[in-house]
């Protein structure tokens, strides 16, 4: 759903979605509705009502890891510090914010090297003029 819950209804009613019509798609639509309403209470109701569909789902089933929150926060903190992924823990809201991977542009280090070389040339010319 990639933070676009409003698109789920269109996908489900499309030709490709209609061929998979069933309880799995109804569960997906219910999750999207809970997300668009930003309602944790509604989401918990959906988890209870569509338990079979959501726990058997390879992605949704991973949400339900049943570990203590402090253990998960400690592990996530360690992963962030070890730079295994870039993100931040918002303990007040109880969520993990994952940042997009920033790809290093090859131009940046090359530019720094060029500036350093120009600086050396300027220093050399200054010494010769003195």
Judgement on whether residues 19 and 58 belong to the same structural domain of the protein: yes
What is the 8-class DSSP label of residue 98? E
Please count the other Cβ atoms lying within 10 Å of the Cβ belonging to residue 110.
10
Judgement on whether residues 53 and 19 belong to the same structural domain of the protein: yes
What string of pLDDT tens digits covers the 130 residues of the chain? Answer: 456 777 777 777 787 777 778 888 888 888 888 888 888 788 889 888 988 888 776 666 556 556 788 888 888 889 889 888 788 888 888 788 888 876 777 888 889 999 999 999 999 999 999 8
Judgement on whether residues 13 and 48 belong to the same structural domain of the protein: yes
Cα(92)–Cα(11) distance, integer angstroms: 35
Distances (CA, A) of 91 to 51, 70, 98, 117: 27, 10, 14, 46
pLDDT in the model for residue 24: 82
Judgement on whether residues 77 and 47 belong to the same structural domain of the protein: no
pLDDT in the model for residue 98: 84
pLDDT in the model for residue 62: 56
Residue 128 maps to a domain: no
Residue 104 maps to a domain: no
Judgement on whether residues 11 and 47 belong to the same structural domain of the protein: yes
Judgement on whether residues 27 and 58 belong to the same structural domain of the protein: yes
Residue 91 maps to a domain: yes
pLDDT in the model for residue 91: 80
Q: What is the pTM of this model?
A: 0.44
Q: Where in the sequence is the domain holding 43, given as residue range(s)? A: 6-63
Contact 5, 35 (CB under 8 A): yes
Cα(27)–Cα(6) distance, integer angstroms: 15
Residue 11 maps to a domain: yes
Residue 94 maps to a domain: yes
């Amino acid at each position: 759903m990639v933070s676009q819950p409003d698109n789920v209804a269109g996908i489900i009613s499309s030709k490709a979605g209609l061929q998979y019509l069933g309880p799995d798609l109804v569960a997906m639509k219910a999750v999207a509705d809970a997300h668009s309403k930003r309602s944790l209470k509604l989401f918990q109701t959906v988890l209870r009502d569509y338990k079979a569909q959501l726990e058997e789902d390879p992605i949704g089933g991973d949400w339900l890891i049943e570990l203590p929150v402090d253990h998960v926060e400690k592990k996530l903190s360690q992963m962030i510090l070890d730079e295994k992924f870039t993100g931040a823990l918002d303990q007040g809201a109880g969520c993990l914010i994952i940042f997009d991977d920033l790809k290093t542009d090859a131009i940046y280090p090359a530019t720094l090297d060029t500036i350093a070389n120009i600086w050396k040339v300027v220093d050399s010319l200054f010494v010769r003029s003195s």
